[in-house]
């Protein structure tokens, strides 16, 4: 590097450090919230700090995260996916059916992933080819899938899967639950996708200003289609983990996970308006949510309160997002 570039590099490095603290500040504030909630719970309940409870929290967080990871990508690119929870339901039910009919665990997992991906493709086509607004398209998919899941299960429950399969959800490796490894793996892949490759930078650009992105040469529709496919795949992965841990499937398993997943993304700090956020933030959001749910359980708050609390938390997160001031540019 010649002298001029070195100077530029220096000129650039200081604000980088300054800027990092801007981004880091948001993360640190939320991680602080995690620590705070954990401390409060530790004080309020003796059983909080036990290793089994903490592992439980981690497992719950990883399930929420796996479901919300793909959603985060969709939201970053300016879209939305209401169907992720029902996608999980349908994928899990189909996988359960396959394994109950004697299929090997690998096939079951494969079916779940395939189902999730196909649903994602359906959503993506509805948004890019049919030009439906994302919330409407995924809302419609939600109900169609829910109907299909109801029909397939016929009101029954399927349970009892092979132990090799269950290990995915309940097993340990080096003392850490396997879902956590999955969580870290998905986090790593998503982080690479969003920060380390061109694709991710294009997603942010589309979310920030889709018109300018198109006029900058980004193939917007292709990217949007792919991101819904990823969201579907993410739901498929989550369905495998769910099935493995709970060891049962019925047509209502996904529904209670929708609000926590959305709340996780928003609490983490990814903006609904697109162009801002990261999957790492969603992990923090998922942790916060898992702690809140865990706390309610420990403090013997009746389970009927939980949907209410999550609803309130979601609204609070949306309000916080608004205060953050990340508005999508109003075009025209």
Partner 1 sequence: MATNENPKGGGDPGPLLELRGITKRFPGVVALDDVSLSIHRGEIHMLLGENGAGKSSLIKVLYGAYRADAGEFRHQGKVIRIDSPADAKALGIAVIFQEFSLVPFLNIAQNIYLGREPRGRLPGLIDHARMHADARAVLQSLGLSYDTHALAGDLGVAQQQMVEIAKALSQNARILVMDEPTAAISDRESEALFTVIRQLREKGVAIVYISHRMKEVFELGDRITVLRDGRCVTSMEAAQATPEQMIRSMIGRQVNALFQRKGRFTPGDVALEVSGLHTSTGVSGVDLHVRAGEIVGLSGLVGAGRTEVARAVFGADPIASGKVTIFGHEVKGEPDSVVALGVGLIPENRKAEGLALGRSVQDNLLISSLWKLFPKGWYNAREAMRRVGALVEKLRISPPDPLRPARVLSGGNQQKIVIGKWLNAGCRLFIFDEPTRGIDVGAKMEVFSLIEGLAEQGAGILLISSELQEIVHACDRAYVMRGGRISGELAHDELSEQNILRLAI
Partner 2 sequence: MNTTTLTVYRRSRPLPSVVAICVAMIVGAALLVKGFLSGGNLVNIGLQASILMMLAMPMTLVIMSEGLDLSAGALLSLCSVILAQALLSGLSIPLALCLSLLTGLIFGLANGVLVANLGLPPFVVTLGTFGVAQGAALVLTDGNAVAGFGPELARLYGASLLGIPVPVVLALLVWLATHVLLYHTRFGTYVFAIGGNRDALTLAGIRSRFYHVGIYVFAGLVVGFAALLLTGRMNSAHPTGAIGMEFDAIAAVVLGGTSFEKGDGWLLGTVMGVLTISILRNALNLLGVESSLQMVSIGLLVLAVILIDSWNKARKESST
Residues that bind partner 2 (CB under 8 A): 80, 82, 130-133, 135-136, 139-140, 143-144, 146-151, 154, 251, 259, 262, 272, 302, 304-312, 314-315, 318-319, 322
SS3 328: coil
Please state, in angstroms and rounded to a whole number, the distance separating the CA atoms of residues 93 and 257.
15
The CB-of-68 to partner 2 minimum distance in angstroms stands at: 14
User: 39 to 98, contacts with partner 1 by CB under 8 A?
Assistant: none
Site for partner 1 contains 15 (CB under 8 A): yes
36 or 308, CB closer to partner 2? 308
Biggest CA-to-CA distance, the chain: 73
DSSP assignments along 271-327, one per residue: -TTSS---HHHHHHHHHHHHHHHHHHHHTT--GGGHHHHHHHHHHHHHHHHHHTT-P
Among 102, 154, 155, 332, binds partner 1 (CB under 8 A): 332
**190, 213, 240, 249: which one contacts partner 1 (CB under 8 A)?**
213
User: Which of 16, 24, 129, 315 is in the footprint of partner 1 by CB under 8 A?
Assistant: 16
Contact status: 322 vs partner 1 (CB under 8 A): no
From the list partner 2, partner 1, none, partner contacted by residue 215 (C-beta under 5 to 8 A by kind) = partner 1
* Radius of gyration, CA atoms only, the chain: 21
Dihedral, 191, 231, 247, 99 alpha carbons, nearest 10 = -120
> Which partner from the list partner 2, partner 1, none does 212 bind, CB cut-off 5 to 8 Å by kind?
partner 1
176 DSSP β-pair partners: 173
* Residue located via tokens 């504030």: 29
For the segment 267-296, give every residue that binds partner 1 (CB under 8 A). 275-276
User: Smallest Cα–Cα separation from 89: which of 67, 122, 60, 121?
Assistant: 67
3-class DSSP state of 170: helix
Q: Which residues here bind partner 1, judged by CB under 8 A?
A: 1, 4-5, 8-9, 11-12, 15-16, 19, 195-202, 204-205, 208-209, 211-219, 221, 275-276, 326, 329, 331-332
């Amino acid at each position: 590097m010649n002298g001029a570039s070195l100077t530029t590099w220096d000129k650039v490095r200081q604000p980088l450090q300054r800027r990092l603290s801007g981004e880091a500040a948001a993360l640190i504030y939320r991680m602080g919230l995690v620590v705070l909630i954990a401390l409060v719970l530790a004080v309020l309940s003796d059983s909080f700090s036990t290793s089994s409870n903490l592992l439980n929290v981690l497992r719950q967080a990883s399930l929420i995260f796996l479901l919300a990871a793909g959603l985060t990508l969709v939201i970053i690119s300016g879209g939305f996916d209401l169907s992720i929870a029902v996608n999980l339901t349908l994928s899990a039910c189909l996988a359960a059916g396959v394994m109950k009919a004697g299929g090997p665990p690998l096939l079951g997992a494969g079916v779940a992933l395939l189902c999730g991906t196909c649903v994602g493709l359906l959503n993506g086509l509805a948004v890019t080819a049919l030009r439906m607004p994302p919330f409407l398209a995924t809302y419609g998919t939600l109900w169609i899938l829910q109907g299909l899941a109801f029909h397939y299960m016929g009101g029954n429950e399927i349970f009892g899967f092979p132990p090799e399969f269950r290990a995915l959800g309940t097993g340990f490796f080096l003392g850490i639950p396997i879902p956590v490894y999955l969580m870290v793996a998905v986090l790593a892949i998503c982080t690479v996708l969003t920060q380390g490759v061109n694709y991710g930078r294009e997603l942010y650009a589309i979310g920030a200003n889709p018109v300018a992105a198109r006029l900058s040469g980004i193939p917007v529709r292709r990217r949007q289609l792919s991101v819904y496919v990823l969201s579907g795949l993410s739901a498929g992965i989550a369905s495998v983990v769910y099935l493995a841990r709970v060891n049962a499937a019925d047509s209502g398993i996904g529904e209670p996970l929708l609000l926590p997943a959305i709340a996780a993304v928003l609490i983490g700090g990814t903006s609904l308006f697109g162009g801002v956020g990261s999957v790492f933030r969603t992990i923090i959001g998922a942790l916060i949510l898992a702690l809140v749910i865990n706390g309610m359980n420990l403090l013997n708050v009746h389970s009927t309160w939980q949907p209410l609390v999550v609803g309130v938390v979601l609204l609070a997160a949306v309000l916080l997002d608004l205060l953050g001031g990340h508005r999508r540019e109003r075009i025209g």
